[in-house]
Amino acid sequence: MKALMIRNLTLLVGLVSMLAPACRAQAQVAGDWKGTLSAGGVELRIILHVSPAKDGSLTATLDSVDQGAYGIPVTTVTLKDSKFSLVVDAVHGTYDGIVNKDASEIDGTWSQGMPLPLNLRRATAAEAARPPAPTPAPPTDIDGTWTGVLDTGTTKLRILFKIVNTQGGLTAQMQSPDQSPVWIPATSVKRDGSSLTIEIKGIGAVYDGKIANGLTTIDGKFTQMGNAFSLSLQRVKE
């Protein structure tokens, strides 16, 4: 009996020693991280939330702040020595980085069709928090969803704008369903009579349009990084 107890104790000690490195790895990178992706003059703020799992592995979610996409699930998270990797199947992206000695920085590369540098730093609770939803207000005469087709000459892309009035003024989100299901929040929405301007700094885009008298169409131009294209919108029946 005594020999059996000793063997069991030995197995327990061995198990603890095997789990210890995994626990240290969890503690090393667990928490919130921030970084900025820069591509073609467009800057996208990224927040990464890393949490330890009971089995010694890591889980994570990703926020693309300027695209209004929060809680994107990370498929796999791995940390081996100082090499940190992510696979994000939801957006067909991967990340590979190196964690520094005090686990305060991760320098790496984000790949989503093309590789881009993405260096992560520890984020404060305020930086990692999701912004509160705006308080609704009575709808204006242009509230609702508007759709059009952006013809760049080489491709045609469907564009959707969703306009909502709030206590702080008009807000808008844009989606390009032929490219992504993500709705991108507008930085600002300004209306002066029949003139409407929607700015989306996250993708370096501005839409300037004229609202028709019948409130069923908006004719204008979509400008992104210096390139301007005609874009006519029609109101979508809800």
62 plus 152 within the same structural domain = no
For residue 21, is it within any domain? no
Integer CA distances (angstroms), 130 to 74, 83, 111, 126, 218, in order: 17, 28, 24, 9, 32
Last residue of a domain, one of 128, 158, 173: 128
Please give the chain's pLDDT, 238 residues, in tens: 444 444 444 444 444 444 445 455 556 899 999 999 987 778 889 999 999 988 888 999 999 988 888 888 999 999 999 999 999 988 889 999 999 999 999 999 999 989 999 999 999 999 999 988 889 999 999 999 999 999 999 999 999 999 999 999 999 999 999 988 878 889 899 999 999 999 998 788 999 999 999 999 999 999 998 899 999 999 998 7
Give the Cα separation of 149 and 156 in Å (integer).
Answer: 6
For residue 189, is it within any domain? yes
DSSP track, 76-139: EEEEETTEEEEEEGGGTEEEEEEE-TTSSEEEEEEESSSEEEEEEEE--HHHHSPPPPPPB---
Q: For strand 42-52 and strand 31-39, is the pairing parallel, antiparallel, or unpaired?
A: antiparallel
Collect all residues with Cβ–Cβ distance below 8 Å to 195 and sequence separation of at least 6: 208, 209, 210, 211
99 plus 170 within the same structural domain = no
Give the Cα separation of 125 and 151 in Å (integer).
Answer: 42
Number of domains in the chain: 2
DSSP track, 156-191: EEEEEEEEEEETTEEEEEEE-TTT-SPPEEPSEEEE
For residue 210, is it within any domain? yes
76 plus 153 within the same structural domain = no
Give the residue numbers spanning the domain of 175: 144-235
